[in-house]
């Protein structure tokens, strides 16, 4: 049994950076965290990744934001206090919290350890907690989370470059596992070489899969092959290259969140191949049905992962030395970081050094 926190039952003062309106500009913000409950862990935030979803949330582009918005859902820290019934953590442990901080615990998805598909899933940032309070994310000094939604971080996993795994990492790990694209010797394509795509390459390689990066131009070829170690590179706008690759892939992880044609990608699949979408384009994509029918092919989707699978992913990453490629930034650089992120000018993930640079 973990030691009991002296803070249990008392709200905690917190400090972070928040967006107040749809301009998305962040500035310092004082607020209160809910009381630490008997199953809660409280922790000092050390690092927090900057995800494209944060950009959508601070500007309310999905229409679900509740201002003020404290973003951040790739959160790494160190436990400072635990509730009286906490079993997984003790003070001093490294801990991570991702995109989700609660669910109903009673639906089919929750019973099947798929809390990420619960209709009442609670977002870590700008969600509504069980007690009706707004959830505030990791661009802040402290976090409080039910231990069920906290991930144990192995000692050998760096907290800065490990932080994006809590969102980007699980977003690509889960479909590789669920759709069976994790068997050694398989051939998997990865569309887009950004925050999601570059960790997809790393996870697939560690699973023993042959990886081809699919991109619109040659500019990321050297990066894909030399730095990330992809086995091959395919330019999707080169008809000759695409023709030569038809029917060669067991599956494709498509990370692109902009409008793009699916027909050429479906053509790359073998019979019974699977195209899995993990990017979220703002408008519906056109889906050609005939090639699906003729090849018994599947187009599917995937969103993060349940807590059990997220822990599996973090442990797998630690065992295989998988981290994200990050640019560590101070807290007061965050507005500039969002401007650069909007232009995809980051390699490949900004991570805020919250512990050392968040100044009250």
Round to whole Å and give the CA distance between 128 and 134. 5
Q: How big is the chain, counted in residues?
A: 360
User: Under a CB-based contact definition with an 8 Å cutoff, are residues 212 and 231 in contact?
Assistant: yes
Q: Give the mean pLDDT of 149-171.
A: 98
Strands 40-50, 142-146: pairing is: antiparallel
Fold of 168-301: Rossmann fold (3.40.50)
The pLDDT value recorded for residue 9 is 63
Instruction: Give me the pLDDT at residue 4, please.
Output: 42
d(C-alpha 78, C-alpha 90), whole Å: 10
User: pLDDT digit string (tens) for 174-215?
Assistant: 999 999 999 999 999 999 999 999 999 999 999 999 999 999
Q: Specify the DSSP class assigned to residue 332.
A: G
Burial class (CB in 10 A: 0-12, 13-18, 19+), 169: buried
pLDDT tens figures, 81-109: 999 999 999 999 999 999 999 999 999 99
Residue 3: what pLDDT? 41
CA separation for the pair 268, 232 (Å, rounded) = 14
Handedness of CA 205, 208, 213, 218 (dihedral sign): positive
- Indicate the CATH number for domain 12-164+325-353: 3.90.180.10
pLDDT digits (tens, 9 = 90+) for 249-286: 999 999 998 899 999 999 999 999 999 999 988 889 99
Q: What is the DSSP string of 228-274?
A: S--SEEEETT-HHHHHHTTT-EEEEEE---S---SHHHHHHEEEEEE
Q: For 268-318, give the DSSP string.
A: HEEEEEEEEE-S--SSPPP---HHHHHHT-EEEE--S--HHHHHHHHHHHH
Produce one character per residue of 175-192: b if its CB has 16 or more CB atoms within 10 Å, e if not: bbbbbebbeeebbbbbbb
| Whole-number pLDDT of residue 360 | 75
Task: Give domain limits for the chain.
Answer: 12-164+325-353, 168-301
Q: H or E element: which one contains 165?
A: none
| pLDDT above 70: percentage of residues in the chain | 98
- Residue 353, helix vs strand vs coil: coil
Rounded to an integer, the average pLDDT of 131-135 is 89
- On whether the pTM is more than 0.85, the answer is yes
C-alpha closest to that of 346 among 38, 50, 134: 50
At residue 52, the 3 state secondary structure works out as helix
Sign of the dihedral defined by the CA atoms of residues 177, 179, 184, 188, in that order: negative
Cis peptide before 348 (omega within 30 of 0): yes
Give pLDDT, residue 1.
37
Fold match flag (12-164+325-353 vs 168-301): no
- CB of 89 closer than 8 Å to CB of 4: no
Which of 136, 147, 152, 325 is closest to 224 using CA atoms?
325
Beta bridge partners of 337: none
Q: Residue 143 forms beta bridges with which residues?
A: 43
Quick: pLDDT tens for 17-66: 999 999 999 999 999 998 899 999 999 999 999 999 999 999 998 888 99
* Residue 28 neighbours by CB distance under 10 Å: 13
Cα–Cα distance for residue pair 324/329, rounded to 1 Å: 15
* Residue pLDDT, tens place only, 303-360: 999 999 999 999 999 999 999 999 999 999 999 999 999 998 899 999 999 999 998 7
Q: Are strands 249-254 and 269-277 parallel, antiparallel or unpaired?
A: parallel
Contact 101, 123 (CB under 8 A): yes
The two most distant CA atoms of the chain are separated, in Å, by: 67
């Amino acid at each position: 049994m973990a030691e009991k926190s002296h803070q249990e039952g008392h709200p905690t003062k917190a400090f972070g950076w928040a967006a107040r309106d749809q301009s998305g500009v962040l500035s310092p913000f004082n607020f209160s965290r809910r009381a630490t409950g008997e199953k809660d862990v409280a922790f000092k935030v050390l690092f927090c990744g900057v995800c494209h979803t944060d950009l959508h949330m601070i500007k309310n582009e999905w229409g679900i934001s509740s201002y003020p918005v404290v973003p951040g859902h790739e959160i790494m820290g160190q436990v400072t206090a635990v509730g009286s019934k906490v079993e997984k953590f003790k003070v001093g442990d490294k801990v991570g919290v991702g995109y989700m901080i609660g669910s109903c615990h009673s639906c089919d998805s929750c019973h099947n350890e798929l809390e990420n598909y619960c209709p009442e899933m609670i977002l870590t940032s700008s969600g509504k907690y069980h007690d009706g309070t707004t959830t505030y994310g990791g661009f802040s000094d402290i976090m409080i989370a039910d231990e069920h939604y906290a991930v144990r971080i192995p000692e050998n996993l760096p907290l800065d470059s490990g932080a994006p795994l809590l969102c980007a990492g699980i977003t690509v790990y889960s479909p590789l596992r669920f759709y069976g694209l994790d068997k050694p010797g398989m051939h998997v394509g990865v569309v887009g070489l950004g925050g999601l795509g570059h960790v997809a390459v790393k996870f697939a390689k560690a699973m023993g899969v042959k990886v081809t990066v699919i991109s619109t131009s040659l500019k990321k070829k050297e990066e894909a092959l030399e730095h990330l170690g992809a086995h091959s590179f395919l330019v999707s706008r080169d008809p000759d290259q695409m023709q030569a690759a038809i029917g060669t892939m067991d599956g494709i992880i498509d990370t692109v969140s902009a409008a793009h044609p699916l027909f050429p990608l479906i053509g790359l699949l073998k019979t019974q191949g699977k195209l899995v979408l993990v990017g979220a384009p703002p408008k519906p994509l056109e889906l050609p049905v005939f090639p699906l029918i003729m090849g018994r092919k599947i187009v599917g989707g995937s969103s993060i992962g349940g807590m059990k699978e997220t822990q599996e992913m973090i442990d797998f990453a630690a065992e295989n030395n998988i981290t994200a490629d990050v640019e560590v930034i101070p807290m007061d650089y965050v507005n500039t970081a969002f401007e650069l992120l909007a232009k995809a000018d980051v390699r490949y993930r900004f991570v805020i050094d919250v512990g050392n640079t968040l100044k009250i």
